[in-house]
A and B are shown apart, each in its own frame.
Chain A
Amino acid sequence: MNLNVGDVVAEKTYDLSRDTLVRYAGASGDFNSIHYRDDVAVSVGLPGVLAHGMLTMGLAIQPVVEWIGDSAKVLEYGVRFTRPVLVDASEGASVTVVVKVGTVDEDTARIDLTVTVDGSTVLGKAQAVVAFR
Protein backbone atom coordinates (compact mmCIF):
# COMPACT_ATOMS: atom_id res chain seq x y z
CA MET A 1 0.00 0.00 0.00
CA ASN A 2 1.39 3.39 -0.99
CA LEU A 3 0.70 6.01 1.65
CA ASN A 4 1.31 9.71 1.36
CA VAL A 5 1.30 12.02 4.36
CA GLY A 6 -1.74 14.25 4.31
CA ASP A 7 -3.86 11.99 2.11
CA VAL A 8 -7.50 11.71 3.17
CA VAL A 9 -8.10 7.96 2.88
CA ALA A 10 -11.63 7.71 4.24
CA GLU A 11 -14.56 9.84 5.29
CA LYS A 12 -17.84 8.69 6.77
CA THR A 13 -20.84 10.07 8.64
CA TYR A 14 -22.69 8.11 11.30
CA ASP A 15 -26.21 8.93 12.39
CA LEU A 16 -26.71 8.25 16.09
CA SER A 17 -30.07 7.91 17.77
CA ARG A 18 -31.04 7.08 21.33
CA ASP A 19 -31.36 3.48 20.10
CA THR A 20 -27.65 3.53 19.20
CA LEU A 21 -26.84 4.63 22.75
CA VAL A 22 -28.98 1.98 24.41
CA ARG A 23 -27.44 -0.69 22.19
CA TYR A 24 -23.94 0.47 23.14
CA ALA A 25 -24.87 0.55 26.84
CA GLY A 26 -25.94 -3.08 26.67
CA ALA A 27 -22.96 -4.25 24.63
CA SER A 28 -20.35 -2.44 26.73
CA GLY A 29 -21.93 -2.71 30.16
CA ASP A 30 -21.77 1.07 30.67
CA PHE A 31 -25.21 1.80 32.10
CA ASN A 32 -24.52 5.34 33.30
CA SER A 33 -28.02 6.80 32.95
CA ILE A 34 -26.81 10.15 31.53
CA HIS A 35 -26.64 8.17 28.27
CA TYR A 36 -30.36 7.42 28.14
CA ARG A 37 -32.27 9.58 30.65
CA ASP A 38 -32.77 13.29 30.04
CA ASP A 39 -33.92 13.93 33.61
CA VAL A 40 -30.73 12.46 35.06
CA ALA A 41 -28.53 14.25 32.50
CA VAL A 42 -30.16 17.60 33.31
CA SER A 43 -29.92 16.96 37.07
CA VAL A 44 -26.11 16.74 36.81
CA GLY A 45 -25.91 19.94 34.80
CA LEU A 46 -25.77 18.56 31.27
CA PRO A 47 -27.86 19.96 28.42
CA GLY A 48 -29.31 16.50 27.75
CA VAL A 49 -28.46 12.87 27.01
CA LEU A 50 -24.89 12.37 25.75
CA ALA A 51 -23.34 9.62 23.67
CA HIS A 52 -20.86 7.44 25.55
CA GLY A 53 -17.37 8.78 24.79
CA MET A 54 -16.38 5.18 24.11
CA LEU A 55 -19.16 4.86 21.52
CA THR A 56 -17.80 7.88 19.64
CA MET A 57 -14.27 6.48 19.97
CA GLY A 58 -15.43 3.03 18.91
CA LEU A 59 -17.20 4.13 15.74
CA ALA A 60 -14.54 6.70 14.78
CA ILE A 61 -11.99 3.94 14.16
CA GLN A 62 -14.36 2.01 11.87
CA PRO A 63 -13.56 3.95 8.67
CA VAL A 64 -9.88 3.14 9.39
CA VAL A 65 -10.73 -0.56 9.74
CA GLU A 66 -12.74 -0.51 6.51
CA TRP A 67 -9.87 1.18 4.70
CA ILE A 68 -7.09 -1.06 6.06
CA GLY A 69 -9.32 -4.14 5.79
CA ASP A 70 -8.49 -5.78 9.12
CA SER A 71 -9.31 -4.50 12.61
CA ALA A 72 -6.28 -6.37 13.96
CA LYS A 73 -3.99 -4.02 12.03
CA VAL A 74 -4.89 -1.24 14.44
CA LEU A 75 -1.95 -1.48 16.85
CA GLU A 76 -2.57 1.65 18.89
CA TYR A 77 -5.50 4.00 19.22
CA GLY A 78 -6.00 6.96 21.48
CA VAL A 79 -8.30 9.96 21.82
CA ARG A 80 -9.11 12.86 24.11
CA PHE A 81 -12.76 13.50 24.84
CA THR A 82 -12.91 17.23 24.25
CA ARG A 83 -16.60 17.93 23.64
CA PRO A 84 -19.68 15.91 24.59
CA VAL A 85 -21.94 14.60 21.81
CA LEU A 86 -25.51 15.60 22.60
CA VAL A 87 -28.03 13.12 21.16
CA ASP A 88 -31.47 14.67 20.82
CA ALA A 89 -34.39 12.27 21.40
CA SER A 90 -35.97 13.00 18.03
CA GLU A 91 -33.15 14.52 15.95
CA GLY A 92 -30.29 12.28 17.08
CA ALA A 93 -26.79 13.40 16.14
CA SER A 94 -24.51 13.03 13.12
CA VAL A 95 -20.85 12.25 13.70
CA THR A 96 -18.46 12.81 10.79
CA VAL A 97 -15.08 11.11 10.69
CA VAL A 98 -12.28 12.19 8.33
CA VAL A 99 -9.28 9.87 8.17
CA LYS A 100 -5.93 11.31 7.14
CA VAL A 101 -2.41 9.87 6.94
CA GLY A 102 -0.32 11.60 9.65
CA THR A 103 3.12 10.05 9.37
CA VAL A 104 4.50 7.01 7.55
CA ASP A 105 7.21 4.70 8.92
CA GLU A 106 8.62 1.48 7.50
CA ASP A 107 5.75 -0.86 8.40
CA THR A 108 3.34 1.38 10.25
CA ALA A 109 1.58 4.67 9.77
CA ARG A 110 0.05 7.14 12.16
CA ILE A 111 -3.49 7.91 11.13
CA ASP A 112 -5.12 11.15 12.28
CA LEU A 113 -8.87 11.30 12.77
CA THR A 114 -10.94 14.46 12.66
CA VAL A 115 -14.24 13.75 14.36
CA THR A 116 -16.91 16.44 14.27
CA VAL A 117 -20.56 17.04 15.10
CA ASP A 118 -22.19 20.07 13.44
CA GLY A 119 -18.73 21.29 12.46
CA SER A 120 -17.30 21.18 16.01
CA THR A 121 -14.50 18.76 16.88
CA VAL A 122 -15.54 16.28 19.58
CA LEU A 123 -12.38 14.17 19.90
CA GLY A 124 -8.93 15.70 20.32
CA LYS A 125 -5.62 14.13 19.30
CA ALA A 126 -7.50 11.16 17.84
CA GLN A 127 -4.71 9.02 16.42
CA ALA A 128 -4.18 5.40 15.50
CA VAL A 129 -1.06 3.49 14.57
CA VAL A 130 -1.78 0.89 11.90
CA ALA A 131 0.29 -1.84 10.30
CA PHE A 132 0.13 -1.65 6.54
CA ARG A 133 2.47 -4.39 5.36
Chain B
Amino acid sequence: MNPELQGRVFPPTASYLVGREKVREFSRAVLATSPINSDVDAARAAGYADVVAPPTFAIVLQQLTLDQLVAVPDSGIDMTHIVHGEQRFAYSRPIVAGDELTATLAVTSIKTLGGNAIVTAESTIVDTEGEHVVTATSVLVVRGDA
Protein backbone atom coordinates (compact mmCIF):
# COMPACT_ATOMS: atom_id res chain seq x y z
CA MET B 1 0.00 0.00 0.00
CA ASN B 2 1.46 3.32 -1.12
CA PRO B 3 1.49 5.64 1.96
CA GLU B 4 1.67 8.71 -0.29
CA LEU B 5 -2.02 8.22 -1.08
CA GLN B 6 -2.91 9.61 2.34
CA GLY B 7 -4.72 12.90 1.93
CA ARG B 8 -5.40 12.41 -1.76
CA VAL B 9 -8.74 13.66 -3.05
CA PHE B 10 -9.89 12.05 -6.28
CA PRO B 11 -11.88 13.67 -9.09
CA PRO B 12 -15.67 13.23 -8.77
CA THR B 13 -17.08 10.09 -10.40
CA ALA B 14 -19.20 10.31 -13.53
CA SER B 15 -22.84 11.04 -12.77
CA TYR B 16 -24.79 8.01 -11.49
CA LEU B 17 -28.52 7.93 -12.25
CA VAL B 18 -30.38 6.02 -9.54
CA GLY B 19 -32.81 3.74 -11.34
CA ARG B 20 -36.13 2.63 -9.89
CA GLU B 21 -35.55 -1.01 -10.79
CA LYS B 22 -32.02 -0.83 -9.32
CA VAL B 23 -33.47 0.38 -6.03
CA ARG B 24 -36.02 -2.44 -6.11
CA GLU B 25 -33.35 -5.01 -6.94
CA PHE B 26 -31.09 -3.76 -4.14
CA SER B 27 -34.03 -3.67 -1.71
CA ARG B 28 -34.85 -7.33 -2.44
CA ALA B 29 -31.18 -8.25 -2.07
CA VAL B 30 -30.95 -6.82 1.47
CA LEU B 31 -34.30 -8.43 2.38
CA ALA B 32 -36.01 -5.07 2.80
CA THR B 33 -39.74 -5.20 3.47
CA SER B 34 -40.57 -1.49 3.73
CA PRO B 35 -43.07 -0.58 0.97
CA ILE B 36 -41.36 2.77 0.29
CA ASN B 37 -38.30 0.84 -0.96
CA SER B 38 -40.24 -0.84 -3.76
CA ASP B 39 -43.75 0.61 -4.19
CA VAL B 40 -43.90 3.96 -5.97
CA ASP B 41 -47.36 4.79 -4.61
CA ALA B 42 -46.27 4.03 -1.04
CA ALA B 43 -43.16 6.17 -1.49
CA ARG B 44 -45.20 9.07 -2.90
CA ALA B 45 -47.75 8.75 -0.10
CA ALA B 46 -44.83 9.09 2.34
CA GLY B 47 -43.73 12.29 0.59
CA TYR B 48 -40.96 11.04 -1.71
CA ALA B 49 -40.74 11.56 -5.46
CA ASP B 50 -40.10 7.86 -6.12
CA VAL B 51 -38.93 4.67 -4.39
CA VAL B 52 -36.43 5.27 -1.58
CA ALA B 53 -33.12 3.39 -1.50
CA PRO B 54 -32.32 1.33 1.63
CA PRO B 55 -29.76 2.85 4.04
CA THR B 56 -26.80 0.85 2.68
CA PHE B 57 -27.46 1.59 -1.01
CA ALA B 58 -24.77 4.31 -0.98
CA ILE B 59 -22.18 1.51 -1.04
CA VAL B 60 -22.93 1.13 -4.76
CA LEU B 61 -21.69 4.69 -5.30
CA GLN B 62 -18.83 4.34 -2.88
CA GLN B 63 -17.65 1.25 -4.75
CA LEU B 64 -17.14 3.40 -7.85
CA THR B 65 -14.75 5.59 -5.86
CA LEU B 66 -12.91 2.61 -4.38
CA ASP B 67 -12.41 1.35 -7.92
CA GLN B 68 -10.64 4.67 -8.63
CA LEU B 69 -8.36 4.09 -5.62
CA VAL B 70 -7.44 0.54 -6.61
CA ALA B 71 -6.82 1.67 -10.21
CA VAL B 72 -4.04 4.10 -9.20
CA PRO B 73 -1.01 2.52 -10.92
CA ASP B 74 1.23 2.62 -7.85
CA SER B 75 -1.52 2.09 -5.22
CA GLY B 76 -0.02 -1.21 -4.10
CA ILE B 77 -3.53 -2.52 -3.47
CA ASP B 78 -4.58 -5.95 -4.68
CA MET B 79 -8.36 -6.44 -4.45
CA THR B 80 -7.96 -10.02 -3.25
CA HIS B 81 -5.99 -8.74 -0.24
CA ILE B 82 -8.58 -6.25 1.01
CA VAL B 83 -10.69 -6.97 4.09
CA HIS B 84 -13.62 -4.69 4.90
CA GLY B 85 -13.05 -3.54 8.47
CA GLU B 86 -15.74 -0.94 9.10
CA GLN B 87 -18.45 0.90 7.23
CA ARG B 88 -20.44 4.02 8.07
CA PHE B 89 -23.06 6.15 6.36
CA ALA B 90 -24.18 9.65 7.36
CA TYR B 91 -27.19 10.93 5.43
CA SER B 92 -28.42 14.49 4.87
CA ARG B 93 -31.35 13.09 2.91
CA PRO B 94 -32.32 9.68 1.54
CA ILE B 95 -31.39 8.52 -1.96
CA VAL B 96 -34.49 8.37 -4.16
CA ALA B 97 -34.91 6.85 -7.64
CA GLY B 98 -34.30 9.55 -10.25
CA ASP B 99 -31.44 11.14 -8.31
CA GLU B 100 -28.29 11.90 -10.27
CA LEU B 101 -25.37 11.61 -7.92
CA THR B 102 -21.61 11.98 -8.00
CA ALA B 103 -19.15 10.72 -5.41
CA THR B 104 -15.81 12.21 -4.45
CA LEU B 105 -13.26 10.09 -2.62
CA ALA B 106 -10.83 11.42 -0.04
CA VAL B 107 -8.27 9.07 1.50
CA THR B 108 -8.40 10.53 4.98
CA SER B 109 -6.02 8.18 6.74
CA ILE B 110 -3.53 5.39 6.10
CA LYS B 111 -2.07 3.64 9.12
CA THR B 112 0.43 0.83 8.99
CA LEU B 113 -0.02 -1.92 11.52
CA GLY B 114 2.14 -5.03 11.52
CA GLY B 115 2.69 -4.99 7.76
CA ASN B 116 -0.95 -4.29 6.97
CA ALA B 117 -2.30 -0.91 5.95
CA ILE B 118 -5.54 0.42 7.40
CA VAL B 119 -7.11 2.84 4.97
CA THR B 120 -9.99 5.19 5.70
CA ALA B 121 -11.81 6.08 2.49
CA GLU B 122 -14.44 8.79 2.74
CA SER B 123 -16.77 9.21 -0.23
CA THR B 124 -18.90 12.33 -0.29
CA ILE B 125 -22.01 11.92 -2.41
CA VAL B 126 -23.84 14.97 -3.74
CA ASP B 127 -26.75 15.62 -6.11
CA THR B 128 -26.82 17.71 -9.31
CA GLU B 129 -27.28 20.89 -7.24
CA GLY B 130 -24.10 20.03 -5.34
CA GLU B 131 -26.16 19.44 -2.19
CA HIS B 132 -24.85 16.82 0.21
CA VAL B 133 -26.79 13.54 0.21
CA VAL B 134 -24.62 11.08 2.13
CA THR B 135 -21.07 10.48 3.21
CA ALA B 136 -19.97 6.86 3.04
CA THR B 137 -16.86 5.89 4.99
CA SER B 138 -15.07 2.58 4.52
CA VAL B 139 -12.21 1.34 6.62
CA LEU B 140 -10.28 -1.20 4.61
CA VAL B 141 -7.50 -3.45 5.80
CA VAL B 142 -5.00 -4.02 3.00
CA ARG B 143 -2.94 -7.08 3.79
CA GLY B 144 0.76 -6.41 3.48
CA ASP B 145 1.63 -9.48 1.43
CA ALA B 146 -0.03 -7.82 -1.58
Contact = CB atoms under 8 A, between A and B. Distances in A.
Interface of A: 14, 20, 23-24, 26-30, 32, 44, 53-55, 57-59, 61-62, 65-66, 69-72, 74-81, 128
A33 to B, nearest CB: 9
A28 B55 contact: no
A111 to B, nearest CB: 12
A71 B52 contact: yes
B31 A59 contact: yes
B4 interface: no
Contacts of A54: 56, 59, 84, 87
Interface in B22-68: 22, 25-26, 28-34, 36-37, 46, 48, 52-56, 59-60, 63
A76 B88 contact: yes
Instruction: State the majority secondary structure of interface residues on B.
Output: mixed
Indicate the size class of the contact surface on chain B: 35 or more
Contact of A57 (B28, B46, B87, B90): B87
B80 interface: yes
A30 B63 CA distance: 8
Going nearest first, the 3 A-B pairs with the smallest beta carbon separation are A58-B30, A78-B88, A27-B29
B30 A81 contact: no
A62 B33 contact: yes
B87 A26 contact: no
A32 B46 CA distance: 36
A53 B88 CA distance: 12
Given A30-B63, A58-B54, A59-B31, A76 B84 contact: no
Contacts of A20: 29, 31
Contacts of B129: none
Contact of B79 (A32, A65, A70): A32
Contacts of A58: 29-31, 54-56
